[in-house]
Structure formats: C-alpha cells, structure tokens
Structure 1
C-alpha cells in the first residue's frame, strides 16, 4: 500500500466522522422541538345581576391582545361543550386568558393546551344598549298603575259593584267584605267566591317575565294542631301533588309548571323531565319541607330514563343542587317521588347518573423522556355531560380533557382521572403508563453528543496513525 492510498483512507475516515457528528447534532436539535400545542377552547354563560345577557360580544384577551370573539345567544350563552359547537379559541402558550363582555372585564381563566373549559362570566349591571336606553321604560298608560284597578279606592262598596269593573281582582276593592269600614252593604254583589278559597295563581306566584307555563294552581296551607306541621294538596294541574312543611305555615301556596327551564336558571342537570316554580308565604321561604311529585310514565319514557335515576333538584344561589330523593311508587301510569328541601324556589325532576371515566393511553410503552398525550375524551355520561376532568400523574395534578406527560426514568407510573358531570356526580379511572429501560446512556442534546465525540476521537486517532506511517516510508 503506497502513501497516496494511506492518505486517502485517513481523509475518508475524517469525512465519515464529521457526517456522524453533524447527524447527531441535528438529532439533538430535533429532540428539543416538542409536538405542536393545541389551542384552548372556552364556552359558558354571561349574566348581569343573575339575569342572562343576550346579544353581547365576549372577547378572549391575552396580554392585551384580542385572540377571539363570540356573541351570546338569547339565553346569555356563548359557545357550547360539544365537538361541533362554536367556542372561543385561544392559541398558546399563555399564562392567563382574560374575558371582556361589551368592553368590560368579566373574568379570567388559565390556559392549557387542548382544554375545553366552561367559563361563566358575570357583570354587576347589564351593558347600556347602543341607543342609550335602559330597556326598562314602562308606558305611561301601564294598566298596573290605573286607579281603576280597584286597589286605591276601598270606597263604600259602590265601586266594587258586581265585581265586573275592569282591572280589579274579583269583586273589585268594594268586593272585600265591609267595603270602607262597613259604610255600605258588604262588597255589593261581590264575586260570589267562598272567602276560604285560595287566591288566583297570578296573585301568589312570582314568575319571571315572559315565562311560559303549562299549568298553575294554588292551595291554602292548613296547620295540623296535633303534629304542629302544615300541608297543602294540589289537584293535578302540575306535577306537584303536595307539600308537607316541618313546622306551622299558614297562607296561600302556588305552583306553576314551566314549558322549559327559565333562562336565568338554565337547563337542570341530566335529562330534564319537569320544571316547576313553587311560591310560599314569605315566612316559609326557608322553611324545610317534603315535596311530593307525580310524573307521568310517558314523560319519563320520553327521556329514556330509568325511574331509579330520577332526582329532584332545586335552583338556589345561581346553581341547581340535587335533593335527597326517594322513589315512592312506580306504576304503568306514573312515577311518584318525594324529596326533602330546605327552602323554596324553582325545582326540577331530571334523570341523572354517575359518569363513566375512561383513560386512553396511545402507546403501550414509552421511552425515557418521551412525551405522550393522555386523553379522557372517551369518558361519558348517560343523561348529561362531563364538565370537568381532573388528572393525577405520578403525584402531579392537571386539568382538561387531555394532558401531556413524560417520565425521565424507566418503570411503571399510575395515572388517575376523575370526571365530574353536570349533576355533580363523579367517577374515577386509573391506568398504568410503562416506560421502557434504555440500555444506552441518554444523550444530552447539544452540538455533539457523547457518541458523536467518540466517533470523532476514533477518526483523529486513525489520521495520526496514517501520518506516522507516511513519515516512516519517507525515511
């Protein structure tokens, strides 16, 4: 072998070592680039003083920059939780997302890649309409202020007449027995109603403006002197059969059944069967009682619900709260339920159940340091929806329907997911993530890895040997 051949071999060795080193450097740089982050999505409801705000713009802002905007619907909602619902989407990463409603700050939320989060926003007062009005003007001829309604003139009984004067309650003001201290015959002809009859439903029930009902009635609470409790029984115009108060309550009790839940309350959790409003004397607003409801089998069947899954909920302090409910009777015609309540407002019968938590791990085994996305999107709920995902990964907490994880060392790691549905029910699932043992040392990213440096050292040594051989032949 001549000198020229030896020099060629040395040069080729150095070239190969350089290519190995540069390839290792490119691999190290690529390892630093993680998978692209998924935008976070937000939806929810906008209210002012507890009432939904229709047709206002909600903006998602990061560091003073508007990232997305959406308008509320008639129920004050913006977007929705479903996969095909419109939402506010925010590219990341971001430390925090601020939300503005009609230009006013209304709330904040954290940012997490792939999150699908409900964020309810509230303002102290509704934004002023573009025309500057407050939307509450009442016509000057509002009949509720017309003196002819019989409420401003107790009079002498003449005004009450036969109780047909427009605008008045039955019998007019003069229809009340005795008129004005008995100046005339009591109440004229009056309305003919028995003074023990309950008042009209509209005089007892306090319903939201524009509420649509399918039935309403009233009853008068009677005290049982032997037990000290009170009760009312209704005639079946609504799903409420009766109410038993734990203590003495006297006065009119009204119940009305809505066609759908009031906008201020929003839909009850799970699959809704019926929603009612119950009004009681002011002294009994926070009185504990037992409510008995009767729901037709057809209405239950329309939801596909198992009667055992039916539950009464009460709307209070801005949310639906489940009540301890007992299935009293189940027949071919109806389902009868009883529930204890600490007070009165709106009530709903709906089907609820525990959700089913599920974890998806996309690979069987990870390499040390490899990142993988765990998903809880296969979690489900029979009647309602999953509204919260809470993860525990090797002792670390995370939220969102998906979460990214990685582990530096080989072994098996336990992952826990707890999901919560719209009824507040929870379920937990666990999974094990396996991380494979790596016989080769883990390379640190950088210009040259340990393997690349070794290859370069071998090439240099080979070059030095070649030089020494050349010098020997020259001698």
Structure 2
C-alpha cells in the first residue's frame, strides 16, 4: 500500500496552482478608454481667425490630431458628424494637461484630459511678432529706361500667415498683391518698397533698388524715334482734324505714331531681331474710352522686320469678331484691336499696358484682381498672363503678355471651381477612429476664387472647409470623418463620391451564453463561442479545485 506524504500533497497543490496561473493570466485586457474630443473657436489677438489655420492638440509631448479653421475661425463642431481633435489616453492620464497650437504658435488655453470628453474650447493666440518681409528682384545689373521689372514678395513669411502686401513705387503710385510689375522710365537708382501685413496686423517692410540707364534710342541722325527735333510722320490718308504725328522713345527701334479718331497707326523701323521696342501710346479717341485705355506696347519680331500697326480700343466687340468675343467667359470690360502687316509667325512676344476705370469694374461687379486679358486666335479665346500693377485716381493699371497680335478682350475673370476627385484613405475603421478623405479641387475658370467643401456621410453634413484656388489651378486638401456609431457610411465631398466607410464597434470581453432547456442542455441559436478570457468567478473555481486536491490527498493519508 502506497502512502501519500504531506510533501507529495504539497507538490500536487503547487502543480494545480502553476497550471491555473497561466490560464488566469490569459484573461483579456479591459477595452481602451474612449478618447477625449475637442472643438471650438480660434481668435488671434481677440479677433476671429481666418480660414486655413492648422489647429493641433498635444498630449504628453505628442501631436495627437489636427484640424483647420473655417472662415469664422471655427474648428470642428459638437455634432456626431462634426470634426474633432481626438486625444487618446487611459485611466493613468486622467486629469493630465492637453495643450493646443495654431500654425505652430502656442494657444493660451489648456484643458484637463478626461476619457470620453466632448468639450468646446476657445483658443486665443497673441501675436505681436512682425512677419519676415522679403522682396525678390530679378535684375542685378542696370536696365535700360522703359524696362518693365516684376518684383516678387511671395517669399515673405509669417507664423500665422501673410494677409496683405502694399507696394510703394517710384512714381508715388501703389500696388497690392504678392507681385508688382513696374516700368522704369527715368535713368537713375530707384527704390521699391513692399510692406507685408500678417493676419494679426503686424507689419514689416522690405526694399530693393533698380538701377536704370538712359535708353539707347537708336537715333543716329537717320531715324525719327526719340529725337526732340526729328521729323514726325503721318499717313497720307489721315482725315481727322485731331490728326497729329507723335513720336515715342523706343528701346530697340525707331517709332512714329499717327493718331486719328478711329485708330492709331504705329510704325517701328530699324529694330533688331528679338529685341523689344517700347511704344508709348498717347491718350486719344482711338486708344481710349471712358472705361479703358491702351497706354503702351512692347513689340518684338523674330526677323527684325519693320512693323506697321493699327490700334484701336472700344467698349464693344469688333464686328468681325463679335460672336467669338462673346464666348470668352466673364463680362467684357473693353476690347483692343491690333492689325499688323507682319506674318504671325514673325511676331515675337508682345507686352500690353492698359488701364480700366474702377467705376467700370464696379458696374460689372468685379475688381482689379480679377481682370484678365484674352486673345482671340483661330476663333478661340486664349487667356493671357495678366498682372495688376497698381491703382491711382480711380484707374487700375495692368500688364499682360501675349504670343502674338489680333483682337483682345479685357474681361472680368470668373472662377469655375469643382471637386474633381475624392477618396477615403481607408474603408474600415473602429468607431471613434478618424478616416481621412483626400480631395482634389480644380479651378477651370479665368479668375481666382473660394469654394466651400462639404463632406457628407449618408447625405448628412459632417464638416466643411473653405479653400482658395487660383485661376486654371488645382489644389489638394484633406478632410476627416470620425464615425460615432457602427455602420456603413457613403462618404462624398460636394457630391463627388469618396467611397463607403465601414465603422465597427470596438471589441468586447463579454461572451453571450447559449440558451438551455430545463435539463440545462444547449438548444437553438449559434454554437457557444470560445471565451476570450476569465472573470473573477473562474479564478475562484480554480483556487477551489487546488484546495480540494490537497484535501483529498490529506484524507487518503489518514486512512492508511
């Protein structure tokens, strides 16, 4: 007969505990804490922030989420489908500080983290730092009088963003926008300054100098351009009583003009190939109306041939181009007609200098930043690079560059902005997890404009954002959608399908028991699921088994 010793019983008990330990250790961890969520308003020095600023949430040294402000400074919203700044955490981080930045600048508000919070916050950024103003000058050597130079301040920077540019030009005029084109008429050193203003109203100024040399008029005694005492010329068939011969200084050839009521005739001689000749056009009935004027041209030819031009300006489309002129898009402010006696293929680049009255633009519901010059060529309208270089005394001045000559229309450029593509970055997420939507926005119009993007889920608005798109340009933005409940969502941006998003509920540790009959046997329904872990009752049963094993061995020992 074998005898079970106390030591053997102890070994058996230890084995039972060792076996039970790993089993208990396989119990599933508790589900993660729901993240905190924040939305609200951004102000800069107390005023609502503009659209497009990036608001970021920071927790324990990490950036957890970002949103962009809308036009009223808002970011996200309280609704289930509104965007929010998500900040994950757990029980050990409850009460820890969450901070925020706007375009990388610290906001003056912090909050305490709390699991599942849906909190509205107001973030104010105090900004007294001036922007970093910079101006790029494309010329470093002296340039001849009559040269047009485009200066660029788009390299200016500011933490919260540059809001405006104000140019001070040598003749006392001003211009706005990131670039300014100016024609330097007089020899000497000329300073151009640009004042850059950020969204908080802080300013900084940058300057550059352009050195101008007296233009070589090409007058060696045989030409007429640029000479104070040279003879003027005029076509023999000029009939108006205001006909006059006017001469204009030319940078590469000799220029003479004859002005009558219906057209201005310009002759350019002795010009070298591919050298631009500057033509200043005096105000006349032919080249000016109450609404617009053509003030000058820079003309070049590829062969150096002599050129004869007939120029006129009208508020109505030329009869031979009427139907085509009306198809260019936007409202026509004026028309310019340039007839020439040189083959099209010999005409080089042509620069136009023209003006439009502010009253004309106001009547057409537009402004100087949207004025565009179009060229009619082969019965089609071609939009030309057009720059607003300044406004003075109720008149805006523009410079445009054309690859040739024909009929031109000065138009109010109109934006034509649409969403051309939208796509989810993922099609399956967990409830509370953000899904990004990549959006491509295209402006096929002739003027810059703004568009509001609306992200919808199953037809309900989720979030909106306003974007700016230049004429004939494309921009890419990212929107976010965080589903608050499980299900499928058809996601779209401004009606453009982005795909279907499936949101699943977070995994749980509870397993439903099958139904039983009166005898305790499982009936109906699905087969029992494998349990994902053990609760406290399982641990208690395991311990009880160990105790019973020890007791049985002890009882057997006494009977021996």
TM-score normalised according to structure 2 size? 0.32
Counting strand residues as a fraction of each chain, which structure ranks higher? 2
Counting helix residues as a fraction of each chain, which structure ranks higher? 1
TM-score normalised according to structure 1 size? 0.36
**Structure with greater Cα Rg:** 2
